[in-house]
Amino acid sequence: MRRRIRYTTRPRPAIALVDRPHPDCTTCAGHGGYQVPDVDGESAYDEYCDCWHPDYQRVFLPIPTALARRLPGYIAPSAESPF
């Protein structure tokens, strides 16, 4: 796994380690995925490559909300329920 540092706002503001695609991958050429054509030949869908795990995220530095409001990219939580 190749990790990088990223600012995340969900489920709360934090600095996290996330996985990234391998730059020398022969399957996806470092893009993390490839398009697979459907049977009808008109539409396609994206398939993730096995060289990375896009759902991997490990929070290692939670950021207090008062401080996170000053950072660029902060998204305020909405009052509405997401469901």
DSSP state of 77: P
The arithmetic mean of pLDDT across residues 72-80, rounded, is: 67
pLDDT tens for residues 13-68?
Answer: 888 888 888 888 888 888 888 877 777 766 666 788 888 887 888 888 888 878 87
3-state secondary structure of 58: strand
pTM: 0.55
**Residue 79 confidence (pLDDT):** 58
Pairing of strands 14-20, 33-37: unpaired
pLDDT of residue 22: 86
Q: How many CB atoms lie within 10 A of CB 51?
A: 20
